[in-house]
């Protein structure tokens, strides 16, 4: 599938926004770890803002960054959200309550427990009625999201913003499902080159494939420890904006092969 | 989106009406309901459930033992029914395992395992009990992962989890993947099973009924949660033309952009989804012979869906919710009601709404309180979820 990338959004440890992260991803500035700071979205009405957890704020932040960078109207752009576990803190709180004798579940916690909570708050914040989907493919959630977003662009022709995000679980789930950090990334994908400087060819390919690593050891560790950070090799290629191939792990017997090329 | 007609060449279904499509068809024809007072696990709530009998005794296939949980057990049961596994095996021979996608919908996957594990945490360390398997049970992808392995498929796979629209939306994912040439066929479906999160959660929101749910009834006061599985094999029309085959003619997706757990009062998102589905199918409202409503039996859903549906179709198109029979299957509702729409077309049945006694005079659509025979060439089905996630499908005779 051939498509164009118009813009990026990024928020993770030591990666505070696309503009600040671009030289780091290009290897021009050394990577320095710093906790990601996630703030509430100014786009949400105050009542809804109070109800949202970190993952929703994170998804809204990177999505807005990417759309702003693309100069696109969020209300008119289709969305693909992808996450391994969405709001892990909220799941933990619900399970604790349900294991107690009272079992008095908070209604807000319950409606925030749906995997598509970020998509719901996003649509409220942006007044967007366009197609939206919310995916999960565990460690390969970014690859699955990219495949779906690419297929949407290829078949519907309209632009899509892909938003991948993950948050660590608190204990005891953190031990059985370790996720290293808060990490979110967003891409605006389009079928036309007019606002884009980079072209992608995304291919679903047989075999596990050897995932493209990050040259920097700390970024490579981050890639390995957060499902959404599996996007880093592609983001690094987009930051470099030169012709190269990127392999993303997907399933046990399949991977994504991505050819990145500057628009001529 | 415009979809190339895709044929639903095989399907299977299990829910509280019984195992296999014959049980669901007969149950709907007889206006039977599978809803019973809640006796699930240690749940102490005055509500009714649509429980699948016999599920507790099942275990998943031994090579996939790590995936054993209520949700994957029900998935396996569904895959074993209605000759579905054999049909997929034949498709695997025809297309190759790597050319068949697996796109599944679920809202809670195997969360029940986690809920139970939280009761058995180590008193000293707080750790979850040994043997708890997050990846194969709780994680949403567990369902698609299990289905793909069970069927021996190697194509693209993921889970869509958009609450109660999940397994309607997978029709769209499959259609896009096939149109883009990523795969040649797809196994789509949805599975959701009873768990404490949804039973206590919907109760906390004041959305569960004490009695079996009564869609469109003047006295309706909430949902009855059920469990179920449904699967369909989607192929391109040219590759699987069989007499009497049913096609996916159109799909429409939209967002309410209104509230996390309350539908838009005017049914704005619902109307958009229906309009887009009709446009994608190149059909007019007058072409639709039956509408399977989302019809959850909450005050707000039925009122807003009725407004949207009446505005588009008037009172002349027969419509009903089948949730009085099956309960609300949440992430499995979309596929279940798509299969019910297929059964309506194939067997000329307009299913009447179980448990609905006195139609709400405020609601204006042509609601079916009794089942009757009629020719159904084209049917439409609605699925709406929390977060304002809406999806409408148009299904019809392939010929």
pLDDT tens digits along A105-163 = 999 999 999 999 999 999 999 999 999 999 999 999 999 999 999 999 999 999 999 99
pLDDT tens, position by position, B94-134: 999 999 999 999 999 999 999 999 999 999 999 999 999 99
Q: Residue B349: which pLDDT band, with cuts at 50, 70 and 90?
A: very high
What percent of chain B clears pLDDT 90, i.e. is strictly above it? 95
CB-CB under 8 Å, A137 with B159: yes
Q: Give B126's contacts in chain A (Cβ within 8 Å).
A: 171-172
Q: Give B259's contacts in chain A (Cβ within 8 Å).
A: 124
Q: Is the per-residue pLDDT at B267 higher than 90?
A: yes
Residue A190 belongs to a domain: yes
Q: Give A254's contacts in chain B (Cβ within 8 Å).
A: 98, 154-156
Residue A149 belongs to a domain: yes
| Nearest-by-CA chain A residue for B259 | A124
- Per-residue pLDDT, averaged over A195-201, amounts to 92
Q: Which residues of B are catalytic?
A: 164, 294, 328
**Can you tell me the distance from the alpha carbon of B331 to that of B348, in angstroms, rounded to the nearest whole number?**
27
Cα Rg for chain A, rounded, in angstroms?
18
CB-CB under 8 Å, A254 with B98: yes
pLDDT given at position B239: 62
pTM, whole model, 2 decimals? 0.98
Backbone angles phi, psi at A226, to 5 degrees: -135, 125
Q: Please count the residues of chain A.
A: 264
Instruction: Identify which of A1, A2, A4 has the alpha carbon closest to the alpha carbon of residue A263.
Output: A4
- Residue A138 φ/ψ region, left for φ over 0, alpha for ψ in the -120 to 50 degree band, beta for the rest: left
CB-CB under 8 Å, B172 with A133: yes
Taking the Cβ of residue B271 and every Cβ of chain A, the question of whether any pair is shorter than 8 Å is answered with no
Q: Residue B397: which pLDDT band, with cuts at 50, 70 and 90?
A: confident
Q: Is the per-residue pLDDT at B289 higher than 60?
A: yes
Between the alpha carbon of residue A188 and those of residues A56, A64, B12, B34, the distances in Å are 18, 10, 38, 46
Calculate how close chain A gets to B377, using CA atoms only, in Å: 27
DSSP assignment letter at B359: B
Q: Choose among B119, B182, B258: nearest Cβ to A147.
A: B182
CATH code at position A27? 3.40.47.10
Residue B251 pairs in a beta bridge with B393
**Can you tell me the distance from the alpha carbon of A53 to that of A67, in angstroms, rounded to the nearest whole number?**
22
**Can you tell me the distance from the alpha carbon of A203 to that of A194, in angstroms, rounded to the nearest whole number?**
23
Residue B137 and residue B114 in contact, taking contact as beta carbons nearer than 8 Å: yes
Q: Residue A185: which pLDDT band, with cuts at 50, 70 and 90?
A: very high
Instruction: Identify which of A170, A183, A185 has the alpha carbon closest to the alpha carbon of residue A224.
Output: A183
pLDDT given at position B95: 97
What percent of chain B clears pLDDT 70, i.e. is strictly above it? 97
Domain ranges of chain B: 7-397
pLDDT given at position B240: 56
Q: Choose among A91, A99, A129: nearest Cβ to B272.
A: A129
Calculate how close chain B gets to A144, using CA atoms only, in Å: 6
pLDDT given at position A57: 95
- Residue B264 φ/ψ region, left for φ over 0, alpha for ψ in the -120 to 50 degree band, beta for the rest: beta
Residue A205 belongs to a domain: no
Q: Please count the residues of chain B.
A: 399
Nearest 5 degrees, angle CA A57-CA A63-CA A65? 100
Q: Residue B398: which pLDDT band, with cuts at 50, 70 and 90?
A: confident
Q: Give B268's contacts in chain A (Cβ within 8 Å).
A: 129
| Nearest-by-CA chain B residue for A122 | B257
Count of helix runs (H) and strand runs (E) in chain A: 10, 9
Residue A186 and residue A65 in contact, taking contact as beta carbons nearer than 8 Å: yes
Q: Give A120's contacts in chain B (Cβ within 8 Å).
A: 255, 260, 386-389
Instruction: Identify which of B2, B32, B37, B39 has the alpha carbon closest to the alpha carbon of residue B15.
Output: B32
- Per-residue pLDDT, averaged over A1-20, amounts to 97
Least confident of A49-53, A92-96, B256-260, B314-318: A49-53
Fold of B7-397: Peroxisomal Thiolase; Chain A, domain 1 (3.40.47)
Q: Choose among B126, B161, B183: nearest Cβ to A172.
A: B126
Counting Cα atoms < 13 Å in the Cβ hemisphere of B221 gives 9
Q: Are strands B100-105 and B349-350 parallel, antiparallel or unpaired?
A: unpaired
The structure tokens listed for B227 are: 């469990």
pLDDT given at position A258: 98
Q: Which residues contact A100 (CB under 8 A, 6 or more apart)?
A: none
Q: Choose among A95, A103, A137: nearest Cβ to B141.
A: A137
With residues binned 3-state (H G I as helix, E B as strand, rest as coil), the percentages for chain B, rounded to 5, are 40, 25, 40
Q: Is the per-residue pLDDT at A210 higher than 90?
A: yes
The ipTM (two decimal places) reads 0.97
Q: Residue B308: which pLDDT band, with cuts at 50, 70 and 90?
A: very high
**Can you tell me the distance from the alpha carbon of B252 to that of B274, in angstroms, rounded to the nearest whole number?**
6
Q: What is the pLDDT of chain A when averaged over all its residues?
A: 96
- Residue B40 φ/ψ region, left for φ over 0, alpha for ψ in the -120 to 50 degree band, beta for the rest: beta
Q: Residue B5: which pLDDT band, with cuts at 50, 70 and 90?
A: confident
**For A43-200, where are the alpha helices, taking DSSP H only?**
46-51, 54-70, 88-99, 107-112, 117-126, 141-156, 173-176
Residue B183 and residue B100 in contact, taking contact as beta carbons nearer than 8 Å: yes
Q: In the block, which residue shows the tokens 């592609």?
A: A234
Q: Is the per-residue pLDDT at B357 higher than 70?
A: yes
Q: Give A129's contacts in chain B (Cβ within 8 Å).
A: 254-257, 268-269, 272
pLDDT given at position B399: 62
Helix (H) or strand (E) holding B145: helix B142-151
Residue B252 and residue B238 in contact, taking contact as beta carbons nearer than 8 Å: no
pLDDT given at position B1: 54
Q: Is the per-residue pLDDT at B387 higher than 80?
A: yes
**Can you tell me the distance from the alpha carbon of B320 to that of B296, in angstroms, rounded to the nearest whole number?**
11
CB-CB under 8 Å, A110 with B204: yes
Between the alpha carbon of residue A246 and those of residues A201, A214, A230, B318, the distances in Å are 10, 11, 11, 53
Calculate how close chain B gets to A137, using CA atoms only, in Å: 5
- Per-residue pLDDT, averaged over A52-59, amounts to 94
Between the alpha carbon of residue A6 and those of residues A39, A47, A256, B181, the distances in Å are 25, 33, 20, 24
Q: Residue A51: which pLDDT band, with cuts at 50, 70 and 90?
A: confident
Q: Is the per-residue pLDDT at B3 higher than 70?
A: no
Domain assignment of residue A135, given as a range: 7-195
Between the alpha carbon of residue A244 and those of residues A231, B38, B161, the distances in Å are 15, 58, 33
pLDDT given at position B208: 98
* Chain B from 235 to 264: CB within 8 A of any A CB: 253-261
A166 three-state secondary structure: strand
| Total domains present in chain A | 1
Q: Residue A99: which pLDDT band, with cuts at 50, 70 and 90?
A: very high
CA torsion sign, A127 to A129 to A130 to A132?
positive
Q: What is the pLDDT of chain B when averaged over all its residues?
A: 96
pLDDT tens, position by position, B152-161: 999 999 999 9
pLDDT given at position B241: 59
- Per-residue pLDDT, averaged over B181-200, amounts to 98
pLDDT tens, position by position, B195-246: 999 999 999 999 999 999 999 999 999 999 999 999 999 999 876 556 678 9
């Amino acid at each position: 599938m051939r498509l164009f990338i118009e813009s990026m959004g990024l928020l993770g440890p030591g990666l505070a926004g696309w503009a600040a992260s671009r030289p780091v991803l290009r290897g021009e500035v050394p990577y320095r770890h710093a906790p990601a700071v996630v703030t509430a979205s100014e786009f949400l009405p105050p009542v809804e803002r109070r109800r949202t957890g970190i993952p929703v704020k994170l998804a809204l932040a990177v999505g807005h960054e990417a759309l702003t960078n693309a100069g696109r109207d969020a209300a008119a752009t289709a969305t693909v959200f992808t996450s391994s576990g969405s709001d892990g803190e909220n799941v933990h709180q619900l399970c604790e309550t349900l294991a107690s004798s009272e079992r008095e579940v908070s209604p807000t916690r319950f409606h925030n427990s749906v995997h598509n909570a970020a998509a719901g708050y996003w649509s409220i914040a942006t007044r967007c009625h366009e197609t939206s989907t919310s995916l999960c493919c565990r460690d390969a959630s970014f690859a699955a999201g990219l495949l779906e977003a690419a297929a949407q662009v290829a078949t519907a022709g309209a632009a899509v913003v892909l938003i991948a995000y993950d948050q660590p679980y608190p204990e005891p789930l953190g031990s059985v499902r370790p996720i290293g950090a808060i990490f979110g990334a967003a891409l605006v994908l389009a079928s036309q080159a007019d606002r884009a400087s980079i072209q992608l060819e995304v291919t679903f390919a047989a075999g596990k494939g050897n995932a493209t690593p990050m040259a920097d050891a700390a970024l490579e560790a981050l890639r390995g420890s957060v499902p959404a950070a599996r996007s880093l090799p592609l983001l690094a290629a987009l930051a470099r904006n030169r012709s190269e191939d990127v392999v993303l792990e997907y399933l046990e017997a399949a991977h994504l092969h991505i050819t990145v090329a500057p628009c001529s | 989106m415009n979809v190339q007609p895709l044929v639903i060449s095989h399907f299977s279904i299990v829910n509280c009406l019984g195992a296999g499509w014959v049980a669901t068809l007969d149950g709907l024809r007889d206006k039977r309901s599978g809803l019973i007072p809640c006796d699930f696990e240690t749940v102490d709530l005055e509500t009714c459930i649509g429980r699948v009998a016999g599920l507790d005794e099942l275990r998943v296939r031994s090579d996939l033992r790590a995936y054993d949980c209520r949700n994957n057990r029900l998935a396996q049961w569904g895959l074993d029914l209605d000759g579905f596994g054999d049909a997929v095996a034949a498709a695997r021979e025809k297309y190759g395992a790597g050319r068949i996608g697996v796109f599944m919908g679920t809202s809670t996957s195997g969360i029940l395992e986690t809920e139970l594990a939280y009761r058995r945490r180590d008193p000293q360390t707080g750790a979850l009990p040994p043997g708890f398997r997050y990846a194969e049970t709780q994680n949403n992808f567990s369902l698609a992962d299990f289905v793909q392995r069970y069927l021996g498929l190697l194509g693209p796979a993921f889970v869509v989890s958009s609450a109660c629209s999940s397994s309607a939306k997978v029709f769209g994912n499959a259609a896009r993947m096939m149109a883009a040439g990523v795969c040649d066929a797809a196994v789509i479906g949805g599975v959701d099973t009873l768990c404490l999160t949804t039973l206590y959660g919907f109760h906390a929101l004041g959305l569960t009924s004490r009695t079996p749910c009564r869609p469109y009834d003047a006295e309706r006061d909430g949902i009855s949660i059920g469990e179920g599985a449904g699967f369909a094999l989607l192929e391109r029309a040219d590759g699987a033309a069989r007499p009497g085959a049913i096609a996916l003619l159109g799909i429409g997706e939209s967002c309410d952009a209104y509230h996390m757990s309350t539908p838009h009062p005017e049914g704005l998102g619902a109307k958009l989804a229906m309009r887009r589905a009709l446009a994608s199918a190149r059909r007019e409202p007058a072409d639709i012979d039956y509408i399977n409503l989302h019809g959850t039996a909450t005050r707000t859903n039925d009122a807003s869906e009725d407004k949207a549906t009446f505005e588009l179709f008037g009172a002349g198109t027969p419509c009903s919710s089948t949730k009085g029979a099956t309960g609300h299957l949440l992430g499995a509702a979309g596929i279940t009601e798509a299969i019910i729409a297929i059964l309506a077309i194939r067997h000329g049945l307009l299913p009447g709404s179980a448990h609905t006694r006195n139609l709400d005079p405020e609601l204006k659509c042509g609601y079916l309180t009794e089942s009757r025979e009629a020719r159904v060439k084209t049917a439409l089905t609605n699925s709406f979820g929390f977060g304002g996630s809406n999806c409408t499908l148009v299904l019809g005779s392939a010929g």
